[in-house]
Structure 1
Amino acid sequence: MTAAAPPTTPARGREITVTGIDGAGKSTLATRLHQSLNDAGHTAILIGKHSTEVPMDEELSAYVDRLNALVYRRDARVAQSCGDHYWLLALAAWYTLQDKLVIQPALAAGTHVILDNAHHKILARYAVNPDVPTRLAEQVFAHLTEPDLVIFLRIGAHEALTRKGSFTSLETGHSGSADEDFVRYQDTVLAQLREQQQRGGWLSVDVTDMDRDAVFKTAAAALADRLQLTI
Structure 2
Amino acid sequence: MSRGRLVAVEGIDGSGTTTLVASLRQRLAGAGHEVHTTREPSDGPVGRLLREMLAGRHQPVDNTTLGLLFAADRADHVQREVEPALAVGKLVLSDRWYHSSLAYQGEGEARAWVRELNRHAPAPDLTLFVEVSPREAARRREGRDDQPEIFDALATQTRVARGYREVIAELQTAGERIDILDGSKSPAEVLEAALAALAT
Q: TM-score, normalised by structure 1?
A: 0.76
2:168 equivalent to 1:191: no
Deviation at 1:51, TM superposition (A): 4.5
* Correspondent of 1:216 among 166, 174, 191: 191
Corresponding residue for residue 178 of structure 1: none
Runs of at least 4 residues off by over 6 Å: none
Q: 1:222 to 1:140 in 2, by over 3 A?
A: same
Report how far residue 23 of structure 1 moved.
Answer: 0.7
- Measure how far apart 1:188 and its partner are: 1.4
Taking a change above 3 Å as real, the CA distance of residues 169 and 98 of structure 1, as seen in their structure-2 partners, is closer
Cα displacement (A) at 1:169: 4.5
Distance of 1:134 and 1:37 partners within structure 2: 34
C-alpha distance in 2, partners of 1:47/1:146?
A: 16
Paired letter, 1:34: R
Q: In structure 2, how many angstroms separate the alpha carbons of the residues matched to 1:151 and 1:121?
A: 12
Could you tell me which residue of structure 2 aligns to residue 3 of structure 1? none
In structure 1, runs of 5+ residues without a counterpart are: 1-9, 53-63, 173-181, 226-231
2:17 aligned with 1:41, yes or no? no
The aligned counterpart of 2:175 is none
CA contact (8 A) 2:5 2:91 kept: yes
Aligned to 2:78: 99
Cα distance, 1:160 vs structure 2: 0.9
After superposition, residues 2-151 of structure 1 pair within 5 angstroms as 10-49=1-40, 51-52=42-43, 64=44, 66-74=45-53, 76-80=56-60, 83-128=62-107, 133-151=110-128
Pairwise CA distance, 1:73: 2.5
CA RMSD of superposed structures (Å): 2.0
Q: Partner residue of 1:159?
A: 136
Letter aligned with residue 92 of structure 2: V
Rg bigger for which structure? 1
Equivalent pairs counted in the alignment come to 191
- Name structure 2 gaps, 5 residues minimum: 173-177
- Write the distance in 2 (CA, Å) between the matches of 1:155 and 1:84: 24
Aligned-partner Cα distance in 2 for 1:97–1:170: 24
